[in-house]
Structure 1
Amino acid sequence: MQKRKLVFDYNLFDSIEELSSVQQKLMHSAIAARKDAYAPYSKFHVGAAVLLKNGKTVIGSNQENASYPAGVCAERVAILYAGAKYPGVAIVAIAITATSKNHKVDAPVTSCGICRQSMAEYEQKQKTPIEILMMGEIGQVIQCNSVLDLIPFAFDSAFL
């Protein structure tokens, strides 16, 4: 047996104001996208904004359904739309933010497993890292240099 340790670096910013102007603009796009969330069941509104290599920004918001597994998370709405609208254009970064009608979301919100896998697929396909920014409604922002930091043992097409 070999015991191994997995470590990655990330940055923690105290607020959105500490981000670069490009990162702030992307996060503000994600914040705006939250308003279009359809979340009558969870009351948890998520917005995502994807920055593409061509300079375009694509947004997405979570879209729930009474048949719970049929809903789609904001991250997947945004990256799938980016892939459909701008095929072959690399994703540079994605910003994710959330708010709740039930309580104040004052800690960074991370993506679910399905979203991490979906984002990882795009990162693996384009062979360049995707920066990921995550925040709640207010407060701190987590910045990772690669989606694969969040899902280091990602499943990919090599297994098929």
Structure 2
Amino acid sequence: MKAEHHLHIHYTIYQNLTELPEKAAHLMKEAIAARQKAYAPYSHFKVGAAVLLKNGHIFIGSNQENAAYPSGLCAERVAIYQASTQYPDEEIEMIAISGTAEIPTAHPVSPCGSCRQSLSEYETKQQKLIPVYFMGAEGNIIQTDSIKDLLPFLFDGSLM
């Protein structure tokens, strides 16, 4: 028997950095600074990410491209893998992401599918939601309460 369902996600839109909670604003500024360090000679699309751990440590990442495209790595994964390497059992409190093209992007830039899947692994591991804040070079900032809001039908270890 056919059963139709509807999916609803919750998210908040902030108009600028000054509207964000203090911790989130600070973390987004770290992501913006990290974006400036991106190595993006092919796409010219720069992304910065910052991960805040419960212990207060912040880890940043920027996208790192390579002429052999699959060999590059996104900013979100650079930051979260670095955090996990240094503090494998520490809770992730929140993530901030900022991305832009050569012409400044005012539309919020969300994580790609690979990053969403990778980030979801950590939310599943810690069994606590991880808020995600994302923006372009300027303008609106979107905040989700959970990575699951970005990837509602995630693939996790319970399926293996």
TM-score range, shorter chain: over 0.9
TM-score of the superposed pair, with normalisation by structure 2:
0.98
Q: Quote the Cα distance in structure 2 between the aligned partners of 1:42 and 1:117.
A: 22
C-alpha separation in 2, matches of 1:133 and 1:115: 14
- Counterpart check, 1:106 vs 2:114: no
Residues in 2 aligned to 1:22 and 1:104: alpha-carbon distance in whole angstroms: 25
What corresponds to 1:53 in structure 2?
Answer: 54
The percent identity for this pair of structures is: 50
Name the aligned partner's letter for residue 9 of structure 2.
F
Alpha-carbon distance, 1:104 to partner: 2.0
The count of aligned residue pairs is 159
CA distance in 1, matches of 2:84, 2:139: 30
Runs of 4+ in 1 over 2 A off after TM superposition: none
How far did 1:40 drift? 0.4
- Following superposition of structure 1 onto structure 2, how do residues 1-160 of structure 1 map, counting pairs within 5 Å? 1-101=2-102, 103-160=103-160
What CA distance in whole angstroms lies between the structure 2 residues aligned with 1:141 and 1:36?
A: 21
Gaps of 5+ in 1: none
Q: Secondary structure at the match of 2:42?
A: coil
Q: d(CA) in 2 for partners of 1:87 and 1:122? A: 10
Deviation at 1:8, TM superposition (A): 1.3
Deviation at 1:106, TM superposition (A): 0.6
- What amino acid sits opposite 2:125 in the alignment? K
3-state SS, counterpart of residue 70 of structure 2: helix
1:38-60 deviation line (CA, Å, top 9, x unaligned): 00000011000000011111000
Q: Tell me the amino acid that sits aligned with residue 111 of structure 2.
A: S
Once the two structures are TM-superposed, the CA of residue 123 in structure 1 deviates from its matched residue by: 0.2
Secondary structure of the structure 2 residue equivalent to 1:6: coil
CA shift for structure 1 position 11 = 0.2
Structure 1 residue identity aligned to 2:50 = A
